[in-house]
A and B are shown apart, each in its own frame.
Chain A
Amino acid sequence: MNSFAEINDKLIESTIEIFTGMVMMEISVAGEPLESMGPLKNSITGMVGLAGTHKGVLAVHFPKQVALAVTSSFLGMEVEDINEDVQDAIGEIANMLGGNLKTILSVRGKDIHLSLPSTIYGDEYAFSSQAEVDQIILPFQAPAGLFYVEVELEH
């Protein structure tokens, strides 16, 4: 398996690739990885589980205005509130990131399987996992604001 620094770099690369190629939005890394994620306010999180040789979860956290801009660009339609389209779009972005994470962690993503993506949204929430995990939180800058890609992998 790759070192954590390598996983970081490849995850950044593939996040930018997905946004450029699928969401049609230019994004960039916004500084160093974070140590922890504070409570999320008025946000939506897309997440997907990893099972198999690597167990963990990938989550992508968007403040509402960023989620709406990303969905509009991704689906090519205006959205004004967190509705089913936004939930599906954010879930699908988590799913695509999870697919790339699989291939980062193992050759051709062999022996790692993704769960169904799900989304969480609310006025204020905190997100945490129980298991003993290695954690990566990467901040990205989109035109509408910051968002975060988080990966937690069981030791």
Chain B
Amino acid sequence: MGDLHLEAEKYLIDAILEVFASMVFIDIAAELPAEESTLEIQPNLSSLIGFAGDLKGILAIHCPAAVAMGITTSMLGMEVVDLGEDVKDAIGEIANMVAGGLKVGLATEDKKIELAIPTTVVGKSIHTSGLSGATRVMIPFSSPLGRFAVELRFIHS
């Protein structure tokens, strides 16, 4: 087994690039992993999905409102102007698909995980956190719509 933190980071980036290329049709680029304090992304919408198995943890996508609406507009091919059901469904589905990609990637390392269901939180100045002690990967992405971030926290079961 290699360094699982780096492997997980690689599978996570691969999964999100794949989902954006095949479903969202927006060019995005991964920036260097960051500390939350230096991230400067104020999420208005976060979609989270838990997973369990050989690794247990949570995957989250954090988007400012404009980015969440832009992604949904591109993915659904219809103009979206508020953070309503369509946006929650779209970003939740992206979280679900990215977690599915991570699952496939981890399976090649003989690590099996099962997914829970995606949940989306919409609001003003929302903060999410996990239990202290888990391995944490936070990757900002840049896109023509603005920046967003993907976060992974996990421990070995």
CB pair B121–A49 under 8 Å, yes or no, is no
CB pair B121–A118 under 8 Å, yes or no, is no
Q: A115-B51, A115-B56 are in contact. Are A124 and B127 (CB under 8 A)?
A: no
User: CA–CA, A39 to B155, complex, Å?
Assistant: 31
Least distance between A101 CB and chain B CB atoms (Å):
12
Q: Which residues of A contact B88 (CB under 8 A)?
A: 128, 130
CB pair B50–A122 under 8 Å, yes or no, is no
Q: Which residues of A contact B147 (CB under 8 A)?
A: none
Q: Which residue of A51, A57, A84 is within 8 Å of B119 (Cβ)?
A: A57
User: CA–CA, A118 to B132, complex, Å?
Assistant: 10
Stretch at the interface among A2-10, A27-35, A85-93: A85-93
Q: A116-B153, A128-B88, A130-B96 are in contact. Are A121 and B127 (CB under 8 A)?
A: yes
Q: A118-B128, A118-B130 are in contact. Are A113 and B118 (CB under 8 A)?
A: no
Nearest CB to that of A51 among chain B residues? B114
Chain B binding surface, main DSSP class: strand
CB pair B115–A39 under 8 Å, yes or no, is no
CB pair B130–A55 under 8 Å, yes or no, is no
Q: Which residues of A contact B22 (CB under 8 A)?
A: none
Number of A-B contacts (CB under 8 A): 140
Give the A interface residue count (CB, 8 A): 41
Q: Does B18 contact A (CB under 8 A)?
A: no
Chain A 100-123 against B: per-residue CB contact (8 Å), 1 yes, 0 no?
000000000000011111111111
User: CA–CA, A117 to B153, complex, Å?
Assistant: 10
Least distance between A70 CB and chain B CB atoms (Å):
16
Enumerate A60-93 residues with CB–CB distance to B below 8 Å: 84, 87-88, 91-92
Nearest CB to that of B90 among chain A residues? A130
Q: A118-B48, A130-B117 are in contact. Are A125 and B122 (CB under 8 A)?
A: yes
16 inter-chain pairs at a CB distance below 8 angstroms, sorted by A residue, are A47-B119, A49-B58, A51-B51, A51-B114, A52-B52, A91-B131, A114-B56, A116-B130, A116-B131, A116-B154, A118-B153, A122-B123, A122-B125, A127-B120, A131-B118, A152-B117
Listed in ascending order, the chain B residues whose CB lies under 8 Å from chain A are 46, 48-53, 56-58, 60, 88-89, 92-93, 96, 113-132, 134, 153-155, 157
